[in-house]
Amino acid sequence: GENVEQHPSTLSVQEGDSAVIKCTYSDSASNYFPWYKQELGKGPQLIIDIRSNVGEKKDQRIAVTLNKTAKHFSLHITETQPEDSAVYFCAASPPYYGGSQGNLIFGKGTKLSVKP
C-alpha cells in the first residue's frame, strides 16, 4: 500500500525566512496530494493541495511542487510569520475502485516554529 515519508520532523526558522517541507510517496497511482496545518487542540486545516496533472500551485505565501517521476512533493512557505507555527502534514490519496478518494495516507508531520 501507499507509504508517505515526511522531512524534517522539526523545523525552526526566523520570522521572514522561508520554510520548506518535503514528502515522498511510494504508490505511483496516487493522484492527489493535500497539505494540512494543525494547531494545538484543533483538527487539521487544509491549506493547499495539488493534483497529479499539475506540477506547481501557489496561494499567496504558500506553494506546493510535485515531481511525479521522483514521487516527491514539497511545501514552500515564504515570509514566515509567528502564526505559521504549527504542525504540518502532507498526505497522498491512492485511487480506490468506485471512485473513492476518502483514504488519505499521511506523513508523520513537521513541527514548524517561527521565531519573532
Partner 1 sequence: KAGVTQTPRYLIKTRGQQVTLSCSPISGHRSVSWYQQTPGQGLQFLFEYFSETQRNKGNFPGRFSGRQFSNSRSEMNVSTLELGDSALYLCASSLDAGISSYEQYFGPGTRLTVT
Secondary structure of residue 83 in the 3-state scheme = helix
27 vs 49 by CB, closer to partner 1: 49
The CB-of-47 to partner 1 minimum distance in angstroms stands at 11
Cell matching residue 10: 522539526
Distance CA 77, CA 20 (A): 6
Q: Determine, following the binding rule CB under 8 A, whether residue 42 of this chain makes contact with partner 1.
A: yes
Distance CA 40, CA 65 (A): 27
The count of C-alpha atoms lying within 13 angstroms of the C-alpha of 56, restricted to the half-sphere facing its C-beta, is: 4
Return the closest-CA partner of residue 89 out of 68, 111, 70: 111
Q: Which of 109, 110, 112, 114 binds partner 1 (CB under 8 A)?
A: 109
Instruction: Give residues 84-103 in contact with partner 1 (rule: CB under 8 A).
Output: 89, 91, 93, 96, 98, 100-103
The CB-of-50 to partner 1 minimum distance in angstroms stands at 10
Binding footprint of partner 1 on the chain (CB under 8 A): 32, 34, 36, 41-46, 49, 51, 89, 91, 93, 96, 98, 100-109
